[in-house]
Structure 1
């Protein structure tokens, strides 16, 4: 059963779409490390950064129903907008994540445990705010660090982007066992039938 918004699908609806006569493709837009930690069985990892820089090539490889997913839905929605602008259709965003999918009995592949990118952003932002306030007790200008982080989080919410997340996703911790090139990632997508 899908949710009321036509471009969204819940985890139960995804399970139905994966067992139908024309199964949906699942594109996981999280970092390779997040994907390696746990992913829906059969999902293809195409990180958001690859979609942002190669949207026409990725859109050209998509055919049929495609469900985009991440941890919270934010990156999947960004990917949907980018791919739709590049001409892809049949795109849906998963309302839910890997753990919610697993809780409904869906098959999940598990690997090395790592923190999600959203959790890393919360840790770094919170630490910087705390450091700015603490340092501000001795050096009042240090409080500007906390103000800067607060402003950055506000802009992030208003624009539905996350610069800190992009920076953190480039760290070695967030790469998979071997970083693949954009061409290697795109080549893993099924060829269109048209």
Structure 2
């Protein structure tokens, strides 16, 4: 059964802020990398990176109630996480509209850690550098410029499919991983809040 994760209802930063200020707001699952989460996150949110969520979705489902909001940088990974949880049987999910970018822009409270580049910025740097270097090298070595063409094709596919292979590869780097998210710790935290 295929579920269209893009149809998960959105929740504006203002609406989420009202819910969280009321005491027992929804469970907020942040699906960004641990490195991104450590840089900035919504107070009280749980870091469950997208890959971890996909791998342990059935286990997580046992400890989530119906009020869950998924968060990432802009909404794309949160929508993918929504699809994974919906396929596992969780029908009531919401995605924070505009992600952490919109949350911060609205002036909502955040917990801040050490500043680091977000994944999208890293993708732009790597893709741009590869295209620049292969374009210049192509002046000396025929055919090398085609590597830049392949990167362009990959970025076009990433935009059309709302996925990013380069971003997934970069998320595996130690800089982005940070301390590994321990699913047992997340589940215990979810259980304690119940």
What does residue 154 of structure 2 align with?
A: 152
Verify: 1:179 aligned to 2:180, yes or no: yes
Which of 77, 100, 115 aligns to 1:98? It is 100
Q: Which moved more, 1:73-82 or 1:58-67?
A: 58-67
CA deviation string 1:136-160 (max 9, x = no partner):
1111210111111011112212222
What does residue 27 of structure 2 align with?
A: 25
Q: Please say if residues 60 and 88 of structure 1, whose CA atoms lie closer than 8 Å, have aligned partners that are also in contact.
A: no
What does residue 163 of structure 2 align with?
A: 161
Verify: 1:86 aligned to 2:88, yes or no: yes
Q: Which moved more, 1:94-103 or 1:109-118?
A: 94-103
Q: Which runs of 4+ in 1 moved over 6 A?
A: none
Task: Give 1:76 shift.
Answer: 0.5
Task: Give 1:17 shift.
Answer: 2.1
Distance in 1 (alpha carbons) for counterparts of 2:140 and 2:93: 52
Where 2:132 maps in the other structure, the secondary structure is helix
Q: Please say if residues 62 and 192 of structure 1, whose CA atoms lie closer than 8 Å, have aligned partners that are also in contact.
A: no
Q: How many residues align?
A: 188
Q: Cα gap change, 1:83/1:21 in structure 2, threshold over 3 Å: closer, same or farther? A: same
Q: TM-score, normalised on structure 2? A: 0.88
Q: RMSD value over aligned CA atoms?
A: 2.0
Task: Give 1:12 shift.
Answer: 0.5
Q: TM-score, normalised on structure 1? A: 0.88
What does residue 10 of structure 2 align with?
A: 8
Task: Give 1:6 shift.
Answer: 6.4
Q: Cα gap change, 1:72/1:88 in structure 2, threshold over 3 Å: closer, same or farther? A: same
CA deviation string 1:84-105 (max 9, x = no partner):
1111132111112335324434
